[in-house]
């Protein structure tokens, strides 16, 4: 079995995940666009700031009209519970509604199929994981940092690397940038953009993003792009002697034959290695 590389031949992926559909997401998305960095925004699609009000106060969300701002390249929209209720503290039908109503609203707003999520309050249990799985959701992010750059072992209980203001993050960013990994690595930073407003620390994320941006040894992708690529790489089927490999997925997977020698396994292709 050969090790996978990311689509650009890199072994490192970088992504962001920001919650609640807040007004300050616009500033973060503009920063991301200017640096070619991609990421995911998790939205509760029944919670908007009223039309005609200013984005002021502690936690300003977007108005419904302002959510048009999420329609830009490099941005994935994911569900976050339609009214942001704790998935572990509601009845089964309420849980189904929180997931499916949000999925349905966002799909209609953004003309897409929503396949990603973040747990409201970060809380989850086996029932919520199973309900998400049955709803066609491929990954769901918790808020429990794992301080690791390893690829996730369970995408429906996804643990981020760290919150943007975590004091351990700068060291992890340096490690991510300097190490030469044998296996795939992912740096996954999460938060809420009103925290930058509240804590007056936009410089923190500006520094991190400018530090990582523009590097050819990193794949910049949304959450679902990394998730789908990882799931596809893990779905490859090998012959008993490892000579042939079959890709049953819709995602092209790049494999490392030797250092500086990669082979692409196209969707549906069977190739000899």
Least distance from C-beta 20 to Zn ion, angstroms? 4
CA distance 56 to 74: 27
| Residues composing the chain | 273
Least distance from C-beta 194 to Zn ion, angstroms? 11
Q: Classify residue 222 by burial, with Cβ atoms within 10 Å: 0-12, 13-18, 19+.
A: buried
Least distance from C-beta 150 to Zn ion, angstroms? 25
Least distance from C-beta 171 to Zn ion, angstroms? 27
Going by their DSSP bridges, the two strands 139-141 and 162-163 should be labelled as: unpaired
- Contacts (Cβ under 8 Å, ≥6 apart) of 105: 45, 46, 82
Least distance from C-beta 83 to Zn ion, angstroms? 11
Q: Which is nearer to Zn ion, 19 or 195 (CB)?
A: 19
**By CB under 5 A, what part of segment 119-138 binds Zn ion?**
120
Q: Which one of 5, 19, 98, 190 is in contact with Zn ion (CB under 5 A)?
A: 19
Please give the residue whose beta carbon sits closest to Zn ion in the complex. 19
Q: Which is nearer to Zn ion, 59 or 202 (CB)?
A: 59
Distances (CA, A) of 141 to 2, 80, 215, 254: 28, 10, 26, 26
Q: In this structure, are residues 11 and 184 in contact, taking their beta carbons and an 8 Å threshold?
A: yes
From 14-22, 25-33, 132-140, 247-255, give the range in contact with Zn ion by CB under 5 A. 14-22
For residue 81, what are its two tokens?
A: 């519970």
Q: Which one of 4, 6, 10, 20 is in contact with Zn ion (CB under 5 A)?
A: 20
Q: Which is nearer to Zn ion, 83 or 135 (CB)?
A: 83
Q: Which is nearer to Zn ion, 118 or 209 (CB)?
A: 118
Least distance from C-beta 80 to Zn ion, angstroms? 6
Q: In this structure, are residues 220 and 38 in contact, taking their beta carbons and an 8 Å threshold?
A: yes
52: left (phi > 0), else alpha (psi -120 to 50), else beta? left
Q: Which is nearer to Zn ion, 20 or 228 (CB)?
A: 20
Q: Which residues bind Zn ion (CB under 5 A)?
A: 19-20, 120
């Amino acid at each position: 079995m050969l090790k996978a590389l990311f689509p650009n031949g890199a072994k490192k992926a970088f992504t962001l995940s920001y919650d609640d559909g807040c007004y300050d997401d616009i500033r973060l998305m503009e920063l991301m666009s200017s640096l070619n960095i991609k990421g995911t925004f998790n939205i509760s699609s029944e919670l908007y700031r009223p039309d005609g009000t200013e984005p002021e106060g502690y936690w300003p969300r977007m108005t419904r009209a302002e959510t048009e701002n999420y329609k830009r390249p490099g941005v994935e929209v994911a569900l976050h519970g339609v009214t942001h209720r704790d998935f572990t503290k509601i009845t089964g039908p309420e849980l189904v509604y929180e997931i499916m109503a949000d999925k349905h609203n966002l799909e209609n707003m953004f003309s897409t199929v929503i396949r990603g999520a973040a747990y409201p309050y970060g809380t989850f249990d086996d029932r919520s994981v199973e309900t998400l799985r049955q709803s066609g959701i491929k990954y769901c992010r918790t808020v429990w940092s794992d301080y690791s750059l390893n690829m996730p072992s369970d995408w429906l209980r996804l643990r981020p690397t760290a919150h943007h203001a975590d004091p351990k993050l700068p060291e992890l960013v340096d490690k991510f940038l300097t190490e030469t990994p044998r296996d795939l690595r992912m740096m996954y930073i999460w938060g809420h953009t009103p925290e930058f407003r509240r804590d007056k620390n936009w410089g923190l994320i500006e520094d991190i993003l400018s530090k990582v941006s523009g590097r050819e040894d990193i794949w910049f992708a949304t959450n679902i792009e990394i998730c789908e690529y990882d799931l596809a790489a893990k779905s490859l089927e090998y012959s008993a002697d490892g000579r042939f490999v079959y890709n049953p997925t819709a995602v092209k997977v790049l494999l490392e034959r030797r250092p500086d020698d990669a082979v692409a396994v196209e969707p549906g292709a069977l190739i000899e290695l």
